[in-house]
Structure 1
Amino acid sequence: MEDEWLWGWDPTPGIISVWAEPDGRAFVWRRIPSTGVLVREDVRFRPWLLLAGLEDLAHLGARLRPEHEGPAPNRVTWQELTGPGALRYLVRADDGRALGAAVLHGASRRIGRSLGHLRELGADTVLALPPEEQYLIASGRTYFRELGFDALHRLQLDLETTGLDPSQERIFLVALRDPKGETEVLEAHGEDGAAEAELLHRLVARVRAHDPDVIENHNLHGFDLPFLAHRARLLGVPLALGRAGAPGLRERPAARGASLGRGPQKALRRMRYTVPGRELIDTMDAVLRHDFAARDLPGHGLKAVARHLGLASPSREHIPGARVYEFFRSDPERVRRYARDDVTEAAGLARMLGGAAFALARMAPRRYERLADAGPATGVLDPLLVRAYLRAGAALPAHEGSDGTPHSGAALHLFATGVARHIVKADVASLYPSLMREYRIGPKRDRLGALLALVDRLVEQRLAAKARARAAAPGSPERHSQEALSAAMKIVVNSAYGYLGASGLTRFADVHAANEVTRRGREVLELLCQELARRGVTLLEADTDGVYFAVPEDWSETDERRVVSEVAALLPPRVQLEFDGRYAAMLSHEPKNYVLRSYDGALVLRGVAFRSSRAEPFGESFLRRALGCLLEGDIPGVRQAYVEVVMALRRRQVPTAEVAAQVRLTKAPEQYLATRSRRRELPYEAMLSSGRDQWAVGEHVRLYRAVRGQARLLPTPHEDDDNSQEARGEEDSKGTENDPRDYDADYYVRLVRETFAARLVRALTPEDFAAVFADPGQPSLFASSLTQARPILTQLPSELSR
């Protein structure tokens, strides 16, 4: 039963896409695992809803009948599920729209006002899922059985446009990488609408000829598809990109994707596109999911991530995103290479980081493309639990609001700040899910124990997948598949505790159970830290992910591993403590904000103090250089880095793009204008000074402070651009025709010291900090020498020692 809850029960292999309509038609595309041949099945299913009661269907009279009497044309059937759950009536019909309309008709009469959508009834009254999920849950089918990731026919698509506004600009080039790995470039033969329309027709023809199962790109849903849809609509080009149904991209709500407002007065909404028969995958989702766990990426743009992960070719072409069309007009071959590199890197990124979503689609009853951008709690665990309860014929609880009990925070201890050497990381593998399993702590309303059962099976099968991955040849499809499966299972397992504590957001939320897990976690963490301290290490930081500590200088790696093993043996049986790495040095700044230097000199930055999407690139570059020197013990080197950045700013050798910050606009134009007379804010002043009096809440812009305190707006590049030197094409002159470098140098000098240099304050004595960051333009006769200066480590009072 637990395996059916986790994997479904229908063994049909090779499903690569499911499209279902509310009228009960479902289209299932499959690749036969042994041959790779594509087949399509057209099937019927009975759309369904879960209701708290049948009163809103009573008006149907004899057309409403018990399920055991069997379905009949124009009839609605009902089945009462077992147990105390509020959503206890499973109602089915031949047509989902008619079923929903019947419920709304009865509810409108009962309430006394017209209702337009089932969601208006509330989650405690009705559960209505998208048609594909209804079909997958009812059938017990899942995607990708007996298929590996490389069995998918994947196509990458990237647009190059004359600008960012699809109402004013146009598409002049499209790069494609076909399922065989061949790249091609399609270009508009002319600069008018007719040439662009002809390009879009060729694009549609090429996609249909290649017939991919999956279309991928980086920021596909944030830029390429919204731009493509808008231009096609203006030009009257039907986007027949799907495998069935009418041409055109269909919209679906999403947490991240295109930002489509409905006029300046309307609230911004997020949406994505979808088509029948193909899955539309945005590699940005995989990057964000990876960085949420690893926190090791220098940014989220395609080029920065590809370079960091070793996917970028040494000959990779770089062009600033805002200048691609300008370059195309003078050097089209360079832009063609650039676009080919983009789709090649997107393909590599999808394969390297996309395996987890692929593996999740083998488990959860949702479309692959939805699982790629889903959160693990509501996006993966909820569908699994709904399927488990319906498979067992059990009533589901409705969402419940909080009873006022606060959710106690996770344990976190900061033992010291400053710089320590010879660092060890001991990892507590999935501490909270392990405690849930050890002490059988689950949601009170989960009468089937489904959440704990799923976590148990996931942990067991994840260990098996890890073992199979280790046994497979490095780089082999089998190893890639098993590592992806292990990663997917870890995502779901680690979300179980968050699912418990999400009062009002998840169906089985139980803050009391979550707090009991937290209490047990504090006990384990305190035991762990006390036992480590007894063995002569210096504790630095501890939380539910693990413990950082410094060891004596004469310890070997064998000694480090021995201590971790000794302490691991004292913990509860299902709580696993593992040796997770060793580092030459660490800067401990604040809780969960630190920098590690590996023994080969590489830096790992963690926390918003050291990594922020809003930080100015020049400041980040300075900070990384200064941190490298600091963790090597080279205090004069920190001083030299500071002097050089200050002098470069004052001489205007830093390009304007390097001092610009990216900010998110949180106020609508009318909101800002209503308070502008009392308080002026740089982002909105930059918009107004650039001639823009309309913008969308949630829009990201890049801006800087110009001379005399004026606000300036930079042209916004594509989201996948990065700030590398190659991409910027830096020059060391005081300005260029395209870069006047009119920024307020004094302001940015202050910013270096007060914001970026301040991250090093806990690593130096007050005297050394003042000397290192003294103004190089005002030399002092009494400046202290830094040749003997060393980083410091300060022990903090600890609750564990009281």
Structure 2
Amino acid sequence: DRIHAVYGIDPDRVRRYARADVEEVAQISRLLGGAAFALAQMAPRRYERLADAGPATGVIDPLLVRAYLRANEALPAHAPGDGTEHSGAALHLYAAGVARRVVKADVASLYPSLMREFRIGPARDRLGVMLALVDRLVEQRLAAKAAAKLAPAGSAERHTHEAMSAAMKLVVNSAYGYLGAGGLTRFSDVHAANEVTRHGRETLALMCNELAARGVTLLEADTDGVYFAVPEGWTTDDERRVVAEVGALLPPLVQLELEGRYAAMLSHEPKNYALLHHDGTLTLRGVAFRSSRTEPFAERFLRAAIERLFADDVAGVRAVFLHAIDALRRREVPTYDVSSRTRLSKSRDEYLATREARRELPYEALLAANRRWDVGERVRVYRTRESAALVEEDRDPRDYDSEHYARILREQYATRFSRALAPEDFAAVFADPDQLQLFARSLADARPVLTRVS
């Protein structure tokens, strides 16, 4: 109603408002919709359907079906699996703690590369469409990637090539997942998928053995790449030489590249680590360090403590911990910062049916607020001294259970440092400040450690 009224007085203002909406949508589409738009030029599906389609059933299946229809060939019927279990990929944690001079070597699109190298495709694909598709898409992706580098930065041409490259990567990297999708896809083949993972494990083992033989310290390895630490005094040329030497031992279509160099790495668990870039920025990976449910105060603590750890300032880690505990107890931390974001998976009736057996914080907060909710909705909740509460916009009551959050800081988030410090240093760093210690351990000479795991 207000827009109509304003239009009668100032139509140009409404036109500017509408134009701004269109421009904002165009910019968002440019950022998020490029790959889907590029896919719409390849796959027999509409753009709006491709934007949220799964790459296996939403993209690869239609491409395969179209190829068979064009060849006037009958499609194989969906077939249930024979009970063969899908064998997992290799995942190794070689060392935990803090490592310096870290390098990541990566095989771009490892599984699709192995499919191409060893010609592994679904047994029921009698026309060989899957492998032909992967071959063609990899070639087109490399061409698009090269063209994007040559195009002017920020140009429409560069954006087009980058979108095409991203689309190709999405489909190519989904080819292996398509094989192992069981009865969900028409050409699925768990035996072929297992053959790919077998070659993947062998390739990863070869890479790790050869890297270790050249004097590096292996940290972590999986299908995304290998992290390793190099000896002090090595140059960038030494790092590239080692990666090139190992890459030369791999099958021709499996290309090993030096993907990244880092000043330090905190290795906690497989796929859970922190990286210190050479420019001083920090990257956290894995749910142990960063999760949608992590409270903001906890992520802030982790970042500050990890920065001190990388600076060899173990006493500084203790200071960060004590400051965080003190801020909670003084209620200097805003309510929002102790809350966690949760997706609701139960309706009101479903939760009430199981409430007596198990009470859950998000739903208790909703019931306390006498608010209805929808399955799939996301809310921010926190624990109070009595029960639970919702975070409300423009309100900061700070009525949270400070001792609860101090406890999870000590018992949950502090454990991320358990493998980076000697046991006695870890105990001293995260000792309860309320407990009197007659012989407190000095942290002046304490340093982070790196311990071999396997």
Normalising by the smaller structure, the TM-score range is over 0.9
- Give the deviation of 1:679 after TM superposition: 2.8
Q: Please give the per-residue CA displacement for 1:355-381, whole angstroms capped at 9, x wherever unaligned.
A: 222221221122212212222212211
Normalised by the length of structure 2, the TM-score is 0.94
The corresponding residue for 2:378 is 700
Give yes or no for the alignment of 1:794 onto 2:454: no
Task: Flag the 1:652–1:459 CA change in 2: closer, same or farther, 3 A.
Answer: same
- Give the deviation of 1:751 after TM superposition: 1.1
The corresponding residue for 2:329 is 650
User: Partners in 2 of 1:347 and 1:781 — Cα distance?
Assistant: 65
- Give the deviation of 1:472 after TM superposition: 2.1
What secondary structure, in the 3-state scheme, does the structure 1 residue paired with 2:182 have? coil
The corresponding residue for 2:388 is 711
User: Partners in 1 of 2:319 and 2:240 — Cα distance?
Assistant: 38
Aligned AA (2:451): T
Task: Flag the 1:396–1:748 CA change in 2: closer, same or farther, 3 A.
Answer: same
- Give the deviation of 1:197 after TM superposition: 7.5
User: Partners in 2 of 1:595 and 1:442 — Cα distance?
Assistant: 37
- Give the deviation of 1:353 after TM superposition: 4.2
After TM superposition, list the pairs within 5 Å mapping 1:84-123 onto structure 2.
Answer: none
The corresponding residue for 1:85 is none
User: Partners in 1 of 2:367 and 2:395 — Cα distance?
Assistant: 21
Task: Flag the 1:650–1:197 CA change in 2: closer, same or farther, 3 A.
Answer: farther
- Give the deviation of 1:347 after TM superposition: 5.2
After TM superposition, list the pairs within 5 Å mapping 1:24-173 onto structure 2.
Answer: none
User: Partners in 1 of 2:18 and 2:396 — Cα distance?
Assistant: 44
Task: Flag the 1:196–1:575 CA change in 2: closer, same or farther, 3 A.
Answer: same
Structure 1 consecutive aligned stretches of length 4 or more whose deviation exceeds 4 Å: 196-203, 205-210, 346-349
Aligned AA (2:270): P
User: Partners in 2 of 1:679 and 1:484 — Cα distance?
Assistant: 47
The corresponding residue for 2:229 is 550
After TM superposition, list the pairs within 5 Å mapping 1:143-542 onto structure 2.
Answer: 194-195=1-2, 348-542=27-221
Unaligned runs of 5+ in 2: none
1:743 to 400, 414, 427: 400
What secondary structure, in the 3-state scheme, does the structure 1 residue paired with 2:379 have? strand
Task: Flag the 1:206–1:388 CA change in 2: closer, same or farther, 3 A.
Answer: farther
Q: How many residues align?
A: 451
1:760 to 417, 425, 429: 417
- Give the deviation of 1:610 after TM superposition: 1.1
1:780 to 416, 434, 437: 437
What secondary structure, in the 3-state scheme, does the structure 2 residue paired with 1:486 have? helix
Normalised by the length of structure 1, the TM-score is 0.54
Aligned AA (2:397): P
Higher relative contact order (CA 8 A, sep 6+): 2
Q: Please give the per-residue CA displacement for 1:201-252, whole angstroms capped at 9, x wherever unaligned.
A: 999x859986x9xx87xxxxxxxxxxxxxxxxxxxxxxxxxxxxxxxxxxxx
Give yes or no for the alignment of 1:603 onto 2:282: yes
More strand by share: 1
- Give the deviation of 1:667 after TM superposition: 2.1
What secondary structure, in the 3-state scheme, does the structure 2 residue paired with 1:587 have? strand
User: Partners in 2 of 1:516 and 1:207 — Cα distance?
Assistant: 58
User: Partners in 2 of 1:676 and 1:460 — Cα distance?
Assistant: 56
After TM superposition, list the pairs within 5 Å mapping 1:614-629 onto structure 2.
Answer: 614-629=293-308
User: Partners in 2 of 1:645 and 1:672 — Cα distance?
Assistant: 34
Q: Please give the per-residue CA displacement for 1:402-449, whole angstroms capped at 9, x wherever unaligned.
A: 221111101111111111111000011111101111111100111111
User: Partners in 1 of 2:347 and 2:223 — Cα distance?
Assistant: 40
User: Partners in 1 of 2:16 and 2:56 — Cα distance?
Assistant: 34
Task: Flag the 1:446–1:197 CA change in 2: closer, same or farther, 3 A.
Answer: farther
Task: Flag the 1:639–1:379 CA change in 2: closer, same or farther, 3 A.
Answer: same
- Give the deviation of 1:641 after TM superposition: 1.2
- Give the deviation of 1:199 after TM superposition: 7.8
Aligned AA (1:756): Y
Aligned AA (1:648): A
- Give the deviation of 1:763 after TM superposition: 0.6
- Give the deviation of 1:776 after TM superposition: 2.8
The corresponding residue for 1:577 is 256
Task: Flag the 1:353–1:700 CA change in 2: closer, same or farther, 3 A.
Answer: closer
The corresponding residue for 1:229 is none
User: Partners in 2 of 1:424 and 1:684 — Cα distance?
Assistant: 45
Task: Flag the 1:774–1:488 CA change in 2: closer, same or farther, 3 A.
Answer: same
User: Partners in 2 of 1:200 and 1:642 — Cα distance?
Assistant: 57
What secondary structure, in the 3-state scheme, does the structure 1 residue paired with 2:288 have? coil
Q: Please give the per-residue CA displacement for 1:82-120, whole angstroms capped at 9, x wherever unaligned.
A: xxxxxxxxxxxxxxxxxxxxxxxxxxxxxxxxxxxxxxx
Task: Flag the 1:395–1:748 CA change in 2: closer, same or farther, 3 A.
Answer: same
- Give the deviation of 1:623 after TM superposition: 0.9
User: Partners in 2 of 1:446 and 1:403 — Cα distance?
Assistant: 17
More helix by share: 2
Task: Flag the 1:590–1:363 CA change in 2: closer, same or farther, 3 A.
Answer: same
Q: Please give the per-residue CA displacement for 1:478-519, whole angstroms capped at 9, x wherever unaligned.
A: 222212211211111111000000001111110000001111
User: Partners in 1 of 2:370 and 2:32 — Cα distance?
Assistant: 41
Q: Please give the per-residue CA displacement for 1:651-688, whole angstroms capped at 9, x wherever unaligned.
A: 10111011111112222222222232333222221111
Aligned AA (1:697): V
What secondary structure, in the 3-state scheme, does the structure 2 residue paired with 1:776 have? coil
Give yes or no for the alignment of 1:771 onto 2:448: no
- Give the deviation of 1:196 after TM superposition: 7.2
User: Partners in 1 of 2:64 and 2:357 — Cα distance?
Assistant: 52
1:561 to 218, 240, 243: 240
The corresponding residue for 2:320 is 641
The corresponding residue for 1:123 is none
Aligned AA (1:355): G
Task: Flag the 1:783–1:468 CA change in 2: closer, same or farther, 3 A.
Answer: same
The corresponding residue for 2:346 is 667
- Give the deviation of 1:348 after TM superposition: 4.4
- Give the deviation of 1:394 after TM superposition: 1.4
Aligned AA (1:402): G
Aligned AA (1:711): A
User: Partners in 2 of 1:600 and 1:349 — Cα distance?
Assistant: 29
Q: Please give the per-residue CA displacement for 1:107-142, whole angstroms capped at 9, x wherever unaligned.
A: xxxxxxxxxxxxxxxxxxxxxxxxxxxxxxxxxxxx
- Give the deviation of 1:200 after TM superposition: 11
What secondary structure, in the 3-state scheme, does the structure 2 residue paired with 1:762 have? coil
Task: Flag the 1:639–1:430 CA change in 2: closer, same or farther, 3 A.
Answer: same
Aligned AA (2:282): L
Give yes or no for the alignment of 1:587 onto 2:266: yes
What secondary structure, in the 3-state scheme, does the structure 2 residue paired with 1:452 have? helix
- Give the deviation of 1:609 after TM superposition: 1.0
Aligned AA (1:741): R
User: Partners in 2 of 1:615 and 1:422 — Cα distance?
Assistant: 29
What secondary structure, in the 3-state scheme, does the structure 1 residue paired with 2:43 have? coil
- Give the deviation of 1:714 after TM superposition: 1.7
User: Partners in 1 of 2:3 and 2:389 — Cα distance?
Assistant: 33
